[in-house]
Amino acid sequence: MKKFFKLDKGTYLEFGIATLLMIVNIVLTQVFPYFTKHKVYYDSAAYDVVLVIAWVLITLKLFLGKKKSTVDLGIVIFGFFLLWEVSYKLGWLHNDLLIPSPEGLFHVYVEKSAEITKDVWGSITLLFWGFLLAAVFGTLLGLLAGWIPRIREVLLPISNAITLIPPLMFSAYMIMILTTFRQAAIAVIFFAVFWPTFQGMVQRVGQIDPQITQAARTMGVGTMGMLWKVIFPYCLPGIIGSISKSLRGAFMCLAGAEMLGINLGIGYFTDKYKAFADYRCVLAGIVTVGVLTTVIDMAVNKARTALIKWE
């Protein structure tokens, strides 16, 4: 327990500053509630909860990781929120339509909790199926093409040409040939991930040490055994490591795919409220995407560390 709380004095001081910024922010929301020029009052409960959760996460990361940059991050985050809050309390910001108050922004998650939850789940579902299909087929085809020169010489030039085409350009055509908008959205995500995954797999197979394959041949390993027992395990760390990068590419296409007409997903949520000029909800959608992508990226990196112990 003593080891957990062991930090140098300078870090304790900086942590105290971050904590003070967080407390001052909460006090401001409780003592000086903000009313917009339209006399709309936003409850600060959701905003205060976000501040407390952020403080808890930063505290845990600081004492577990012992990195001074963590407390610097806390000071920046709480300092930014405090500046944002004070700007409204002192009247520096007047346009609540375009730049909502912190209370107004996070109150969206109370007002529209059911809708946001439904749309987030819809985005995750679309991303899951599009990414899963692309990752599986891209890896399998890349494995074969990387090992068999004849297949590689046919498919690699094709992939080089297709990857130059933005995946969203396929959307209009996908809507016509597929039966539902949902399938079209999944197809767009598939194209965003499949060809980069295929090319990355071909490259990783080409980088395998020839001594490894020669030793396997000496032991009488056939083609299928070479692919699944030698090459695939060798490439697995690179495959998992590339998932994070591939997910970023998939998310870039996800919002566009959700605007194809499926009426579901956080991209659809953002686009819908943009049409109503409700920029509180638009900003809430942007924040949600940022949090969602960060959480997924962290989960992938944790899974990579836990699964790939031999790298």
Return the number of other C-beta atoms located less than 10 Å from residue 282's C-beta: 21
Euclidean distance between the first and the last CA atom of the chain, given in angstroms as a whole number: 32
**What domain count does the chain have?**
2
Residues 71 and 146 in one domain: no
Residues 155 and 294 in one domain: yes
Nearest Cα neighbor of 245 from 209, 167, 297, 177 is 297
pLDDT at res. 232? 80
Lowest mean pLDDT among 97-106, 113-122, 230-239: 230-239
Whether 91 and 34 have beta carbons less than 8 Å apart is answered as no
Is residue 2 included in any domain, yes or no?
A: no
pTM equals: 0.80
Is residue 262 included in any domain, yes or no?
A: yes
- Bridge partners, 41 (sequence order): 35
From residue 60, alpha-carbon distances to 22, 65, 70, 208 in Å are 16, 8, 10, 40
Residues 86 and 122 in one domain: no
Which of 109, 125, 143 is the C-terminal boundary of a domain? 109
Our measurement of the distance from residue 245's CA atom to the centroid of its chain's CA atoms, rounded to an integer in Å, reads 10
Is residue 4 included in any domain, yes or no?
A: no
Which of 79, 109, 139 is the C-terminal boundary of a domain? 109
Whether 73 and 58 have beta carbons less than 8 Å apart is answered as yes
Please check the confidence at residue 30 and state whether its pLDDT lies above 50. yes
Question: Average of pLDDT values for 149-162?
Answer: 87
Which of 86, 109, 132 is the C-terminal boundary of a domain? 109
pLDDT at res. 1? 47
Question: Average of pLDDT values for 286-299?
Answer: 85
Residue 213 domain boundaries: 113-307
Residues 189 and 300 in one domain: yes
Residues 303 and 218 in one domain: yes
Residues 70 and 184 in one domain: no
Question: Average of pLDDT values for 290-296?
Answer: 85
Whether 190 and 134 have beta carbons less than 8 Å apart is answered as yes
Whether 181 and 262 have beta carbons less than 8 Å apart is answered as yes
Please check the confidence at residue 52 and state whether its pLDDT lies above 90. yes
The tokens describing 303, both together, are: 């899974």
Alpha helices in the chain (DSSP H): 9-31, 45-65, 68-89, 102-111, 113-147, 149-162, 171-177, 181-206, 210-218, 223-225, 232-258, 266-275, 279-307
Is residue 32 included in any domain, yes or no?
A: yes
